[in-house]
Amino acid sequence: MIKKSLSVLLMVMMLITIVGCTKDDSTSGKSSDGDSKDKVTFTYFNAASPGKDLNTNETKIGKIFEDQTGVNFKTEYLVGDINTKIGTMIASGKYPDVLVPDIAIDKILDAGAFIDLTELIEEHAPNIKKLYGPHWEQMKDKDGKINFIPFAAKQGFIKDPNITQGAFWIQRGVLKEAGYPKIKTLDEYLALIEDYQKKHPEMNGASTIGFTALTYDWRFFALSNVPNHLAGYPNDGEVIVDMKTHKTDVYADNDVTKRYFKELNELNSKGLFDKEAFVANYDEYLAKIASGRVLGFFDYGWQVQQSLDNLKVAGNDDLRYMPLPITFDGQKDQYIDPPAFINNRGVGITVSAKDPVRIIKYFDNMVKEENQKLMFWGIKDETYSVDDKGKFYQTEEQFAKTSDEKYRDESGLNTFEYYWPMGDMLYSDGNAWVPGKQPEVAQVSYTDGDKAILKAYDAEVFSDLFADPDDRPWYPTWSAVIEQGSDAQIFGQRKTDLTKEFFPKLVLAKPGDFDKVWDQYIEEFNKLDAKALEDLMDKVVKDRIKAAEAK
């Protein structure tokens, strides 16, 4: 405690020296009432992403903000190593006025470089208070202070129109031939593939692959997570969290896992499972998907995006894939991530800031809905239009314009893209906070084939087929901090090793031997300390529920 106050004292002394040295170039004192609209320039440093160093008032959007508040920011982005840069700041005690420290945030907090924002927000920033209200408790540090403003305060919920998360993917040709059946269960899905492969054993001279899986290196979870999804749970890493008791359970040894691998085992005995699935590396896997020989697979959208894009460019819609929310028995799926508030990244005002009140007022002004729309959607009728029902949409030209880097730089769409106080999901008028989540915008990039298949399924965007996520305040448990070298972490590694060894055996065993291999696997599994991880996760879930209830 003494040490801490000593270092704070030191910090203050250094600050005084620095302020003393640089006094002449700062016109406004610390005790500004904040109401003045005098032109003033602050510094903003973003360590989270590369970008263009500029004055925000040189951009269209930044100019509007300057007219409203008189504040201009001189932005600077990280070049080189983040730890070196932040380390230098801490060592010198000289910070930009506003800082986005990204992964180095713990260092900044340890150094006490951010000022407490609680009072500033209470006094000067009613809009921030309103926007972040639901997350207020989650924003507080252990000592009750709010040291920085996290990004993306969730308002309501809207699904990403496209599937970037987990799904069972199926070749569109398969669906087309079967007359676009509505399928929900794993059995239906596999039966479709089986029929199709019987009729088309070869494609472009190579044998058709019924079902494949990604198993390479750390991406192995694309195989081991599947039972959890089939049982109707979101990607909570290694555990299933019970909705009622909130107890966590490592499911690698559960019936759901046994059931899934039994299915794969049968698939393999019928010759439908990709023989090379367990030896192919990531590139070989992507090449295989892009070749159009594979009828179905499970994966997370972001992992196969390249292949899906290549197929889209190639232009044969029958060879492209459709994501489906398959579950064991057709129970409600939870493939789409529940909204999660990320409270360990954000933007803060540093101890070097000359006039925190002006800054917080600027932030408060920018989180007003009309200004947020400016930041994310751009300028009305230039980068988006509004239909007679008040829905925002983009024409193809507008879509192209907002994808053009040069325009994005000049307008400020890049500068204000993310790393400022901001909301997410839905505006009060029902439009999506960011254009990417607005169905009307997603549709602009859809091909005729996309539109046709969506019509066949009575959907507007791909995520329409998927269920809305239930409320899970603990989601995602995989983001929990696990202490390095702890029992829980060692269990995680050993479990991965064990499943990597046994899952191929389970799939490739003769159907008669399956139960024998499973018993062997369980015997080995029981030697591991699953409780270490479950106990930790129980605590994480409990804490997160508590934080969510406190709001």
Binding residue (CB under 8 A) for other proteins from 247, 489, 520, 525 = 489
Q: Which two tokens stand for residue 346?
A: 């954000």
How many Cβ atoms from other residues are within 10 Å of residue 355's Cβ?
22
Binding residue (CB under 8 A) for other proteins from 501, 515, 519, 543 = 501
Say if residues 229 and 334 touch (Cβ distance below 8 Å): yes
Binding residue (CB under 8 A) for other proteins from 22, 281, 395, 447 = 281
215 contacts other proteins (rule: CB under 8 A): yes
484 contacts other proteins (rule: CB under 8 A): yes
219 contacts other proteins (rule: CB under 8 A): no
Over the Cα atoms of the chain, what is R_g? 27
Distance, C-alpha 207 to centroid of its chain: 37
CB under 8 A, 24+ apart: contacts of 536-540: 536/480, 536/482, 536/486, 536/488, 537/239, 537/241, 537/248, 537/477, 537/480, 538/246, 538/247, 538/248, 540/474, 540/477, 540/480
Binding residue (CB under 8 A) for other proteins from 85, 494, 513, 525 = 494
504 contacts other proteins (rule: CB under 8 A): yes
Binding residue (CB under 8 A) for other proteins from 493, 512, 523, 526 = 493
Choice between 4 and 546, CB closer to other proteins = 4
Strand spans (E) along 132-225: 153-155, 166-171, 202-203, 206-207, 209-212
Say if residues 25 and 18 touch (Cβ distance below 8 Å): no
Choice between 153 and 537, CB closer to other proteins = 537
Binding residue (CB under 8 A) for other proteins from 20, 179, 485, 512 = 485
Binding residue (CB under 8 A) for other proteins from 67, 123, 141, 276 = 276
Choice between 280 and 359, CB closer to other proteins = 280
- Nearest alpha-carbon partner for 41 in 111, 96, 92: 96
| Residues between 380 and 409 that touch other proteins (CB under 8 A) | none
Binding residue (CB under 8 A) for other proteins from 157, 220, 446, 457 = 220
Choice between 206 and 342, CB closer to other proteins = 206
- Of 132-140, 186-194, 414-422, 483-491: span binding other proteins (CB under 8 A): 483-491
Binding residue (CB under 8 A) for other proteins from 9, 243, 279, 550 = 279
Choice between 276 and 429, CB closer to other proteins = 276
- Of 78-86, 93-101, 173-181, 279-287: span binding other proteins (CB under 8 A): 279-287
Task: Report helix, strand or coil for 263.
Answer: helix
500 contacts other proteins (rule: CB under 8 A): yes
Size of the site for other proteins (CB under 8 A): 24
526 contacts other proteins (rule: CB under 8 A): no
Q: How far is the CB of 83 from other proteins (least distance, A)?
A: 12
**Dihedral angle at the C-alpha atoms of 56, 62, 66, 72, nearest 10 degrees?**
-10
Give the separation between CA 415 and CA 62, rounded to whole angstroms.
Answer: 9
Give the separation between CA 27 and CA 30, rounded to whole angstroms.
Answer: 10
Q: Which residues pair with 114 in a beta bridge?
A: 350
Give the separation between CA 120 and CA 317, rounded to whole angstroms.
Answer: 55
Q: Which two tokens stand for residue 287?
A: 């090449």
User: Which chain residues interact with other proteins by CB under 8 A?
Assistant: 206-207, 215-216, 220, 275-276, 278-281, 284, 484-485, 489-490, 493-494, 497, 500-501, 503-504, 508
